[in-house]
Copies of this chain bind each other. A is one copy, B any other.
């Protein structure tokens, strides 16, 4: 049950409407905004400053960001980024997520089950080689396959040569391809987590709100060859931290933005994709909230999924509101019309105008296939870990014998280790929760595709959705890791011989699911090619240099620590520990505004004026969770963990009046570690950069 966390953030004007505003932008480290920073802030961005920040930054492959904060391999990220690992370590008897954790000695540090960290080492422009690999006459699937093949070749070559994880990243809607090389770390051990009550104080009601009072941090240590890593680059800790008016930078991995989409693509999201997603999220939220209320153990089992669902639901709500706002869509339509008019006024722009038309046609084809694609291929009809694993086993058997370039992307050689780490993870999977979610998904699938649909009839096998779900979950063996290993090693013959009911279910829909995927990915390819043509024309017409849409790769954002106004009331940039206690009191210390007992006990010892959270105008989005916020000196002054509610449309554009990124303050972190948790050794390591 993976809901990729998408804690969103950000702010600024629509990239498609005008040139980037002052503080808009998720800039490439290979093409940073030197001129803008010099002009607006008198700041000289040097190569050494930039490289140091890049090598100090860490990507959590599970969907977040972090940074090295000591020379002994300590990595800081958000509690909600670490939550996936905390959850997988937890049992009915020991709840790392709820109760928190501290390892006083290295021996007490707990190894995570399937966590992978990536540290970017270098970036190489491979655009010309990728383009050369696609014959000029190729279109649609042929072009996509040719491109997939050359990309797989580049990744494999790089990996074989350097030993580094090597990913070719598509930038500027296919205008550029860059090869990103990462050091991978997989021996990651938990050092410290606060109680979830402290990390996520205010819970879902306060999520995306400001002022905030969250200690949303989690600390891990990276090991290599059984020893703590001693990274050459790590961030120096700023004890005073961020102040109002400071210039600050954010270095992290924004997951995805869609700021250059054409109007038909936005309309598809508005009319098809987001309504469908919100329907799913609402029903899952109701399902898991109702089940969680039945017992403490249910709540523990569902907590991670439920949080992810609530989080994504707020995000999609916010984005849909922007797309349904005539002020937004009208502006986008006018900007697109104006751009097309400027194209018409120029020679040689027929190709770009035709590209706009091709996108509209392709989007229409995707729209017509989207429902079945979402339920059958993206798996919305089969919400369960058991189904995901069963399909992975089936497809691994079918895909791995093929040449690398011809496989479905996730079975490529470059992703093999990540796939295996996930597939063989010993994380707990709960039979009761699996029956619940699969039963509900099959019910939903039957509603949406229709009871009489032949595929639905085949899936249900003559049973009711809930009975079928129970039979499948109780009958499958895929929750046994040894079984998974055996089938993975044995390939498609072993998968067939096992006669596992869940694998056979995945097999029964695989032809249709693959065919839907091919249809949708072909349209993506058409759009990608068309967008590359438009992107080129846009560059010729507008002549401006800007940043590409986010791609879950390392980016640099910058901005000012700055409050804002809401309904005429000023919201200051910083909150303090005193504010945390006030908010708890105003809610009678009731969940989710209850403080962990030690926070009540230690209140008198605290300097209540210490800053706890702060906002800045930096341009960020989901995936930036855990990103370090640094000052001019490159020192760690805070850690990004959220955006305010006004920032929820940042997927499509940066609007700078109210949107803000929210960080935990470095001074608040040290005050809490020393006075509330009494973990001076850890605080000393952060402040001095070395384990005492």
Binding site for B on A (CB under 8 A): 203-205, 267, 270-271, 275, 278-279, 281-283, 285-286, 289-290, 293-296, 310, 313, 320-321, 324-327, 329, 443, 446-448, 450-451, 460, 462-467, 587-588, 592
Contact = CB atoms under 8 A, between A and B. Distances in A.
Given A270-B451, A451-B270, A466 B278 contact: no
Contacts of A271: 447, 450-451
Given A324-B464, A326-B463, 15 more contacts: A204-B290, A204-B293, A205-B293, A267-B451, A271-B447, A271-B451, A279-B282, A285-B286, A286-B286, A289-B289, A320-B447, A321-B464, A324-B465, A325-B464, A325-B467
A275 B447 contact: yes
7 contacts: A205-B294, A275-B448, A286-B313, A289-B289, A295-B587, A296-B588, A329-B451
A256 B547 CA distance: 61
Nearest to A440: B317
Nearest to A446: B324
A271 B326 CA distance: 33
B286 A443 contact: no
Given A285-B286, A313-B286, A447-B275, A464 B326 contact: yes
A324 B451 contact: yes
Contacts of A463: 326
Nearest to A270: B451
A205 B283 contact: no
Nearest to A284: B282
A293 B324 CA distance: 26
Contact of A324 (B204, B290, B295, B443): B443
Contacts of A588: 296
B290 A466 contact: no
A337 to B, nearest CB: 17
Contact of A321 (B279, B310, B327, B466): B466
A649 to B, nearest CB: 11
A469 to B, nearest CB: 11
A205 to B, nearest CB: 4
Given A286-B313, A313-B286, A464-B327, A321 B205 contact: no
A551 to B, nearest CB: 29
A463 B326 CA distance: 6
Contacts of A321: 443, 464-466
A74 to B, nearest CB: 35
B464 A290 contact: no
Interface centre among A286, A327, A467 (most CB of B within 10 A): A286
Contacts of A446: 324
A517 to B, nearest CB: 25
A270 B204 CA distance: 33
Nearest to A450: B271
Interface centre among A270, A278, A324 (most CB of B within 10 A): A324
Contacts of A460: 326
A313 B282 CA distance: 12
A427 to B, nearest CB: 27
Contacts of A443: 320-321, 324
Contacts of A592: 293
A282 B293 contact: no
Contacts of A329: 451
Nearest to A457: B326
Contact of A293 (B203, B293, B313): B203
